[in-house]
């Protein structure tokens, strides 16, 4: 771990000890110590990214960050320490995709939110199919991570209140398909991936996936050897 990453992790641990009551009982047991891995998670955009990144240390982590965020000197320093890959939104950024695939092949954990944008209130939004491309091309096992409680973090922070933040880790899987993958199939696959997240959360957070958690898996296959 380089000095910048060590310092950021230390500061995050101190900050979250003061602002959160963190409940992540099985994180260390379920996140493998080595090997290529894609981590998918729901996305409120308030606190989960730094919390999960902190919990993953000392594993090498990476992910996509919007290119314009790198214009901020502080974020550029943090993103550089974490190995975040700049991506240009609104276009097919093949450079970002190739860099992500190379990082996964080299043994990094790649974090991604299938929803593609923040849900703000903690309830799941309909996922976007781009995550499926990454999973299919890399062939890496995919690990679902769910969190809840962080949707009120900023509100609590303004009131000097600590936030109860819960994190749960599911079981790894890979995507198994035969023949050509159509756009309709990609949406079905990513919906199955989101159901893996929903199954880890209280029902009131299921959002677009309410009433669907008992659906049978069609494209996802359990993976135990990670």
The pLDDT of residue 116: 87
Instruction: Say if 13 falls within a structural domain.
Output: no
176: pLDDT confidence band, cut at 50, 70 and 90?
Answer: very high
Alpha-carbon dihedral of residues 175, 40, 199, 20, nearest 10 degrees? 170
Q: For residue 167, what are the domain limits?
A: 24-222
The pLDDT of residue 85: 95
Instruction: Say if 5 falls within a structural domain.
Output: no
| Mean of pLDDT values over 72-98 | 90
CB neighbour burial string for 25-38, b if at least 16 within 10 angstroms, e if fewer: eebeeebeeeebbb
> What is the β-pairing status of strands 20-23 and 109-112?
unpaired
CA–CA separation, 215 vs 192, rounded Å? Answer: 9
Each residue's pLDDT tens digit, 1-58: 689 999 999 999 999 999 999 999 989 899 998 999 999 999 998 899 999 999 999 9
Bridge partners of 209, per DSSP, are none
Instruction: Say if 175 falls within a structural domain.
Output: yes
Instruction: Say if 10 falls within a structural domain.
Output: no
| Mean of pLDDT values over 60-70 | 93
Q: How many domains does the chain have?
A: 1
Instruction: Say if 98 falls within a structural domain.
Output: yes
Bridge partners of 65, per DSSP, are 86
The pLDDT of residue 165: 98
Instruction: Say if 6 falls within a structural domain.
Output: no
Helix (H, G, I), strand (E, B) or coil at 157: helix
| Mean of pLDDT values over 112-138 | 94
Contact 148, 24 (CB under 8 A): no
User: Per the structure block, which two tokens stand in for 113?
Assistant: 């939110």
Nearest Cα neighbor of 209 from 120, 114, 119, 125 is 125
Instruction: Say if 213 falls within a structural domain.
Output: yes
CA–CA separation, 165 vs 114, rounded Å? Answer: 20
Instruction: Say if 19 falls within a structural domain.
Output: no
Contact 191, 144 (CB under 8 A): no
């Amino acid at each position: 771990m380089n000095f910048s990453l060590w310092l950021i992790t230390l500061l995050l641990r101190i900050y979250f000890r003061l602002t959160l009551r963190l409940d992540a009982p099985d994180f260390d047991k379920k996140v493998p110590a080595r090997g290529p891995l894609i981590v998918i998670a729901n996305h409120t955009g308030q606190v989960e990214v730094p919390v999960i990144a902190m919990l993953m240390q000392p594993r090498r982590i990476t992910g996509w960050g919007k290119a314009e965020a790198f214009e901020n000197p502080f974020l550029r320093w943090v993103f550089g320490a974490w190995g975040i890959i700049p991506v240009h939104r609104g276009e097919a950024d093949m450079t970002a995709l190739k860099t992500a695939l190379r990082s996964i092949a080299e043994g990094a954990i790649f974090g991604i939110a299938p929803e593609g944008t923040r849900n703000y209130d903690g309830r799941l939004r309909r996922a976007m199919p781009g995550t499926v491309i990454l999973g299919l091309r890399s062939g890496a096992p995919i690990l679902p991570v769910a969190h809840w409680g962080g949707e009120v973090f900023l509100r609590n922070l303004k009131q000097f209140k600590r936030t109860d933040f819960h994190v749960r880790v599911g079981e790894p899987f890979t995507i198994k398909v035969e023949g050509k993958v159509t756009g309709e199939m990609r949406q079905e696959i990513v919906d199955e991936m989101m159901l893996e997240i929903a199954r880890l959360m209280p029902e009131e957070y299921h959002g677009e996936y309410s009433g669907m958690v008992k659906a049978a898996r069609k494209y996802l296959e359990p993976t135990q050897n990670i």
